Amino acid sequence: MGLAASQARLLSITSRLSDNELRSQTITNAKMSLATKTTDASSQYMNALNATQLMFSTYDASGNKMTQRLSASSLATYGELKNQYGVINNAGQIMVSELDAANYLASATLADFLAKYGVAEATKTDKPNPEYIDKATTIWGPDWEIWDNGGTGAVGGLNGREPQQPDFTKVVITKDPNSELYQKFRDASAGCYNQAMGSRPVCYLHVLAHLLDLNEELSGFPKSYTTINGDSISIGKDKITGSNIFFNGKTGNMVPVSQKVCEDGVMAAENEADMNELLSMVNNPSTDPNALRNKKLLSNYYIDAAGNAQLKTLKQKVIDLYYAVENYGSLGIDYDTTLKDSMRSFQEDMTLLDMIYNVEPDVPAYEKAHDEWEAEMEKQINELHQIEKIMTVIDIEYTDKDAAQWYINLWHRMNGPSDYKVELDGFDNGARADEKTKAALGEQETGDTSPANGLTPGGQLLWTVLEDGLYNSADWLQAALENGTVTLERVQFTEPTEEGTGLEDVTWTSILYTNASDISEEQNEAAITKAEIQYQATVKDIEAKDKQYDNVLKRLDTEHSALQTEYDSVKSIIDKQIERHLKMYS
């Protein structure tokens, strides 16, 4: 072989050696990637072993336990022996199926809603509205139907309380120029009064005793009376015969005075300041009870059953003052101020004895009362016209009471307490009940933003639709629960032994899914089996490829050794040829 041929052969061998080394490096890298794939396959297999799935347990009619993947559908589908749950989003809305949403929108009432599921049948009949009857009876009495239809029946109710002119009178007081009663009283009582203004209150008891049913014979003693507060007094004859009035021979002059005082219709003196003070004390919860008791005794007024101040008769005024003078010490009435002021005022008020009391028609009072009556009649009749005269009675016959209760609970969670559809501004809430149906079902509760008016606290509908794909997806619900994007509510019965009729007997209560006894976590056997098969297949494939790579590397190594030997031989020949040529030219 010539030098040129040897050099060409050497270059060819060198190229093949380089290619051999490159292929070996490539296969070595491929073997390293197989190790990474082995690690990934192992990790995926371990994740499957550690993964769990949420399961929901129920029982059949025989008490056999059944378990299925937890989904919105498995929670919300009725079962005879299962808890009722709802999936709630972060806005507080229950997430219902497309079917439940369609049934709700198409239902104007709870009865309509139940009928959609075949658990109840509703029968509607018309009958007189009790609310209308009650209101009409209040206005016209038992013959309300006659009056309501434009006729004239027996007068009753508010209609029968029409004010009549003879019932409105007023007392006109004028001075009698011929009366000497006040003068007789002054003359007879002066001595006793002056002593009482000193320090002898008993003397004024003599004056007051002469004013109570006194007669010429001085008979009928002892005499008993009752104060405005219900206390009793007893007046003995000695209060007459032991007085300065009697000793001065003026008891006889007091007889006509006493007769006047005790006449019906003779009233105590009007005193606006006295009346206002009494009312203020009565209406003030912090008024001292003893102070109020004493004020009632000393006042010219009393408080009637309606809480209004009315004038006492003059006779009652005398009785109350007698009790106050007789018991001022135990009552805590200050003698020198309060009691003397009361006796002094009484002396001045006795000028009423010379007055003539005439009863006359009180036209302004009658006209005012009649105007008020007419206004009230008009108001009541207007209110009557706002009430439906005929109401629709809804009778519900249940075909399955347990299932019906399930859907009753769902209706109220979607609608609120009312048995008819809530009407919401700005929302299309589906079918609505007519006024007769509303009257039959009663007044709807109202609120600002709460279940009472069909809205969440955030002002949204109480429900929203969960599309069927997600509704039936166990993986979606598990992820949503674990991530906190949804929560669960469970129906709690307040009276479990009674048939529920909605929110009165049940409540929807928030519950953590981890605290629910019928929700559990289990290994996903199907996923584990699948992962195991995938792992084994992956490992088998990796082992096969690794063996294949080893065989290729072995062949490359053998080829590399042969090429290296040939390379060394050719290189030796070239070296000798070069040496020979050098000797020829030296």
Query: From start to end of 82-163, where are the E strands?
Result: 85-89, 94-96, 120-128
Whether residue 274 has pLDDT greater than 80: yes
Whether residue 84 has pLDDT greater than 90: yes
How many domains are there within the chain? 4
- Rounded to whole angstroms, the Cα distance separating 501 from 409 reads 8
Whether residue 281 has pLDDT greater than 80: yes
Model pLDDT, residue 505:
66
Whether residue 167 has pLDDT greater than 80: yes
Residues 444 and 329 placed together within one structural domain of the fold:
no
Whether residue 237 has pLDDT greater than 60: yes
Residues 33 and 89 placed together within one structural domain of the fold:
no
Domain's final residue, options 523, 547, 573: 523
Q: Which two tokens stand for residue 547?
A: 């063996």
Residue 542: phi and psi, rounded to 5, are -65, -40
- Structure confidence by residue, pLDDT tens digits, 194-227: 999 998 989 999 999 999 999 999 999 999 999 9
Model pLDDT, residue 352:
81
What pLDDT band is residue 531 in, cutting at 50, 70 and 90? low
Residues 300 and 181 placed together within one structural domain of the fold:
yes
Model pLDDT, residue 10:
63
Contact predicate 184/254, CB 8 Å: yes
- Structure confidence by residue, pLDDT tens digits, 92-121: 999 999 999 999 999 999 999 999 999 998
Residues 497 and 517 placed together within one structural domain of the fold:
yes
Residues 79 and 208 placed together within one structural domain of the fold:
no
- Structure confidence by residue, pLDDT tens digits, 427-472: 878 777 666 566 556 555 444 444 556 788 888 899 999 999 999 9
* Domain interval for residue 377: 130-167+363-385
What pLDDT band is residue 570 in, cutting at 50, 70 and 90? low
Q: Which has the closest alpha carbon to 166: 370, 310, 357, 306?
A: 370
- Structure confidence by residue, pLDDT tens digits, 500-510: 444 456 889 99
Q: Average the pLDDT over 366-392 and give the result.
A: 93
pLDDT over 70, % of the chain: 85
pLDDT over 90, % of the chain: 52
Residues 335 and 268 placed together within one structural domain of the fold:
yes
Model pLDDT, residue 52:
72
**CB half-sphere exposure, 80, CA atoms < 13 A:** 9
Domain's final residue, options 350, 385, 420: 385
* Per-residue b or e along 175-196, where b marks 16 or more CB atoms closer than 10 Å to that residue's CB: eeeeeebbebbeebbbbbbebb
Rg (CA), the chain: 54
Model pLDDT, residue 81:
86
Model pLDDT, residue 457:
86
Contact predicate 205/271, CB 8 Å: no
Residues 59 and 39 placed together within one structural domain of the fold:
no
Angle 281-282-287 (CA atoms, 0-180°, nearest 5)? 50
User: Mean pLDDT for the chain?
Assistant: 85
What pLDDT band is residue 294 in, cutting at 50, 70 and 90? very high
Domain's final residue, options 482, 508, 523: 523
DSSP-derived letter for residue 150 is T
Residues 263 and 399 placed together within one structural domain of the fold:
no
Model pLDDT, residue 434:
64
What pLDDT band is residue 241 in, cutting at 50, 70 and 90? very high
Whether residue 523 has pLDDT greater than 90: no
Q: Average the pLDDT over 319-323 and give the result.
A: 97
DSSP-derived letter for residue 109 is B
Whether residue 553 has pLDDT greater than 90: no
Q: Average the pLDDT over 31-38 and give the result.
A: 70
Q: Average the pLDDT over 273-299 and give the result.
A: 96
Residues 177 and 314 placed together within one structural domain of the fold:
yes
Whether residue 323 has pLDDT greater than 50: yes
Whether residue 242 has pLDDT greater than 60: yes
Contact predicate 297/323, CB 8 Å: yes
* Per-residue b or e along 127-143, where b marks 16 or more CB atoms closer than 10 Å to that residue's CB: eebebbeebbbbbbbeb
Model pLDDT, residue 222:
96
What pLDDT band is residue 576 in, cutting at 50, 70 and 90? confident
Q: Average the pLDDT over 339-346 and give the result.
A: 93
**How many residues are present in the chain?**
586
Residues 296 and 331 placed together within one structural domain of the fold:
yes
Model pLDDT, residue 6:
62
Model pLDDT, residue 501:
45
Residues 244 and 306 placed together within one structural domain of the fold:
yes
Whether residue 277 has pLDDT greater than 90: yes
Residue 266: phi and psi, rounded to 5, are -85, 115
Residue 375 CB partners (closer than 8 Å, separation 6+): none
What pLDDT band is residue 483 in, cutting at 50, 70 and 90? very high
Residues β-bridged to residue 125? 393
Residues 451 and 467 placed together within one structural domain of the fold:
yes
Q: What residue spans of 299-362 are helical by DSSP H? A: 314-326, 328-331, 340-349
Q: Is 95 exposed, middle or buried (0-12, 13-18, 19+ CB in 10 A)?
A: buried
Model pLDDT, residue 64:
85
